[in-house]
Amino acid sequence: MGDVVTGASDPLLAPLDDDQRVVAEALIGPVCVLAGAGTGKTRAITHRIAYGVASGAYDPARVMALTFTSRAAAELRARLRALGAGGVQARTFHAAALAQLNHFWPLVVGGSAPRVLEYKGRLLGEAAERMRLRVDVPTLRDVASEIEWRKVSVLGMDDYERRVASRGAPGDLTAEQLLALIAGYEQLKDERRMLDFEDVLLATAGMIEAEPAVAMQVREGYRHFVVDEYQDVSPAQQQLLDLWLGGRRDLCVVGDASQTIYSFAGATPEYLLGFERRYEDATLVRLERNYRSTTEIIGVANRLMRGRAGALHLEAVAPAGSVASAGHDERRAAADAAPLGGRPAADAGPGVEPVVLEYPDELAEARAAATRIRDRIDAGIRPEAIAVLMRVNSQSAILERALDEVGVSSRVRGAARFFDQPEVREAVHALRAAALTITGEPLFKSVSDVLRSLGWTVQPPEGPGAVRARWESLNAIARLVDDAPDGTTFRAFADDLRARAEAQHEPTVSAVTLATLHSAKGLEWDEVHIVGLVEGMLPIAYAKGFDAIDEERRLLYVGITRARRRLSLSWARAGGAHRGEREPSRFLQELRTRTRDASRADATAGARPVVRDRS
């Protein structure tokens, strides 16, 4: 086991449960945290870092917390600031690598570092034109994905060429055309002195590996590393991490193999699952107490992943008197034995049984989901506490229309980022300008006066639509005043808003979220509806072989574990271009013994659900 620094009564440790506290106190040496969904992993690692800083074990300037998205990095920074460890760097792998590349390039190579290419499609299109090759946009996107996969897998072109036969070429391209197109893309990129996103990792690694002075300076700068979502690390990221460490052992990794859903992009859980083999004396901690979801939801998640490599067995932590407050063995038995759809979900509050809902077609499925959501909002549930999750983005259009029909505002996650919306950019600019001249007024008055000048009102406009969507965006900014610490000045508020915009740290908008299962990772809602659970959609039709199907299973697991209190899973017998009757997802077949047929029950007010025994 790694060395452990203890602090019996430190206030930074007081909010943690026993297992989280083990994580926080294991400050020295390799540490591996296997953390299931909703088990408080972010709390554990941020308190660990803050405790290390407060106890003097860490110099905050020499700690690097790494993750995979700008939003996750922003959350880490915010939590660390609140815990008194604001001097700690929290970045994505790419942001950390780019900062080092920009710093060392002038010293090692000379001149400024090459510009980073944001979008590969345009350059690939030009390369195709040079070859006089007609390639449609979807195929260009797939070629871009192939380039990304090759680079994050640290494969040279010769190795990649040997893999193309088994992977196949995108669209109508032959293997030879694919390889020539990639070569043309790389040539254009070099001619224009550009790097793509993946090159940033490889170039930084190459510089550290080739230049001892660079390696020494980097390793002097950072001593302690924490990697969140370690199951998503790629070979290129692991290579860079190893170079940053330089043989040292001050590394803490946190992950959950059951949430590996980016294998197609080069992510692999093998580094997480093999951590103990690499560091035989590592401190290993399992976080399995789930503080997010009800016992019934956790039971569904556990049954879905039972027997899978690296799967953790979650235990629901619920109020006294519920099933989850019973003993350890009783909790497991009660959570895992209950059949999905085994009892009606008519009662509100914790303990509502997840249900499977069957519909004649996709339109009926979408309208029924919208009606249930409308009823829940009328019962007092906030729209932003509800999500509808799906496998692919194309499923969102019919759901948007169905929600619009019942007067419910919705927002498609990933369609347009909050701070990229014109009204939000205008509001941020106006607030920053006003903050230079307005002083001494209460914060809410200053902010609301500026927002009113842009059309915001205290009361929302009637109904959904573009006007309501604009109001929701401005109102989300107004609500940030409520979250501001006491004494926050108008200038500080405007500066924080700018920092949020740069980090894409979005505020909450009062609308139902529509999201793909991939984009829902890391988020949570009180109520989750997962739609379209049919063969060919989940698992997706192109998922072939055990590994690909198992990734689809993990994707459903991620969706299920986003729900705190209520969960519904639905499928439709017909829909889209599919002319024959569709089959429910094999994952549903595993989970349920009885199904509620809601095709009429949800469509007709006051109708009694029909329960059909499918066991």
At 252-286, the pLDDT tens digits run: 999 999 999 998 888 999 999 999 999 999 999 99
Instruction: Name the band, by pLDDT with cuts 50, 70 and 90, for residue 9.
Output: low
**Residue 174 in marked binding region:** no
Measured distance CA(607)–CA(610) in Å, rounded: 9
Q: Can you tell me the mean pLDDT for 106-115?
A: 90
**Length of the chain measured in residues:** 615
Q: Can you tell me the mean pLDDT for 148-171?
A: 88
Tell me, what's the pLDDT at 416?
56
Measured distance CA(520)–CA(387) in Å, rounded: 9
Instruction: Name the band, by pLDDT with cuts 50, 70 and 90, for residue 405.
Output: confident
Indicate whether 176 pLDDT > 50: yes
2 contacts: CB under 8 Å, gap ≥ 6 = 26, 28, 29, 30, 31, 281, 282, 283
Indicate whether 577 pLDDT > 50: no
Q: Which residue has the higher pLDDT, 259 or 393?
A: 259
- Domain map of the chain by residue range? 18-97+204-286, 115-192, 339-415+511-613, 418-503
Structure tokens that stand for 581 in this block: 């009757």
Indicate whether 477 pLDDT > 80: yes
Q: Can you tell me the mean pLDDT for 323-336?
A: 37
Instruction: Determine the Cα angle at 442 with ends 439 and 443, to 5°.
Output: 85
Q: Can you tell me the mean pLDDT for 496-513?
A: 76
Instruction: Name the band, by pLDDT with cuts 50, 70 and 90, for residue 70.
Output: confident
- Residue 40: phi and psi, rounded to 5, are 80, 35
Q: Which residue has the higher pLDDT, 589 or 293?
A: 293
Q: Hey, how many other C-beta atoms are within 10 angstroms of the C-beta on 371? A: 18
**Residue 6 in marked binding region:** no
77: closest CA among 60, 55, 94? 60
* Most confident segment among 25-39, 419-433, 473-487: 25-39
- Residue 429: phi and psi, rounded to 5, are -60, -45
**Residue 487 in marked binding region:** no
DSSP string, 325-390: GS-HHHHHHHHHHSPBT-S---S-STTPPPEEEEESSHHHHHHHHHHHHHHHHHTT--GGGEEEEE
What are the respective helix, strand and coil percentages of the chain, to the nearest 5? Answer: 50, 15, 35
Q: Which residue has the higher pLDDT, 97 or 441?
A: 97
Structure tokens that stand for 144 in this block: 């871009």
Indicate whether 465 pLDDT > 60: no
Measured distance CA(48)–CA(80) in Å, rounded: 10
**Residue 26 in marked binding region:** no
Q: Which residue has the higher pLDDT, 253 or 541?
A: 253
Q: Specify whether the CB–CB gap between 542 and 581 falls below 8 A.
A: no
Class of domain 339-415+511-613: alpha beta
454 contacts: CB under 8 Å, gap ≥ 6 = 423, 426, 427, 430, 474
Residue 266 DSSP one-character state: T
Indicate whether 382 pLDDT > 90: yes
Tell me, what's the pLDDT at 343?
36
3-state secondary structure of 507: coil
Q: Give the Å distances, CA to CA, from 489 to 15, 346, 497, 506.
A: 30, 47, 12, 21
Instruction: Assign domain 18-97+204-286 one CATH number from 3.40.50.880, 3.90.1150.50, 3.30.930.10, 3.40.50.300.
Output: 3.40.50.300
Element (H, E) at 544: none
What is the residue type of 484? A
The separation between the first and the last C-alpha atoms of the chain, rounded to the nearest angstrom, is 48
3-state secondary structure of 484: coil
534: closest CA among 345, 356, 303, 308? 356
Q: What is the pLDDT of residues 84-102, one digit of tens each?
A: 999 999 999 999 999 999 9
For strand 115-116 and strand 89-92, is the pairing parallel, antiparallel, or unpaired? unpaired
Q: Which residue has the higher pLDDT, 398 or 152?
A: 152
The per-residue pLDDT of the chain, averaged, comes to: 83
| Full 3-state SS string of 6-60 | CCCCCCCCCCCCHHHHHHHHCCCCCEEEEECCCCCHHHHHHHHHHHHHHCCCCCH
- 320, HSE (Cβ side, Cα atoms, 13 Å): 0
Q: Specify whether the CB–CB gap between 255 and 231 falls below 8 A.
A: yes
Measured distance CA(346)–CA(353) in Å, rounded: 9
Indicate whether 595 pLDDT > 60: no
Percent of the chain with pLDDT over 90: 51
Measured distance CA(53)–CA(73) in Å, rounded: 19
Q: Give the Å distances, CA to CA, from 79 to 50, 223, 331, 465, 564.
A: 9, 21, 32, 35, 22
Tell me, what's the pLDDT at 540?
85
Tell me, what's the pLDDT at 478?
84
Q: Specify whether the CB–CB gap between 229 and 255 falls below 8 A.
A: yes
Structure tokens that stand for 355 in this block: 């249900």
Q: Can you tell me the mean pLDDT for 300-321?
A: 79
**Residue 40 in marked binding region:** yes
**From the centroid of its chain, how far is CA 559?**
11
Structure tokens that stand for 304 in this block: 């879905």
**Residue 511 in marked binding region:** no
**Residue 35 in marked binding region:** yes
Instruction: Name the band, by pLDDT with cuts 50, 70 and 90, for residue 463.
Output: low
* Most confident segment among 7-21, 217-231, 438-452: 217-231
Q: Give the Å distances, CA to CA, from 544 to 257, 549, 596.
A: 20, 7, 30
Q: Can you tell me the mean pLDDT for 588-612?
A: 45
Instruction: Name the band, by pLDDT with cuts 50, 70 and 90, for residue 381.
Output: very high
Q: Which of 232-246, 475-489, 541-555 has the lowest mean pLDDT?
A: 475-489
Q: Specify whether the CB–CB gap between 447 and 431 falls below 8 A.
A: yes
**Residue 489 in marked binding region:** no
Tell me, what's the pLDDT at 10?
82
Q: Give the Å distances, CA to CA, from 166 to 103, 163, 169, 354, 540.
A: 40, 6, 9, 40, 19
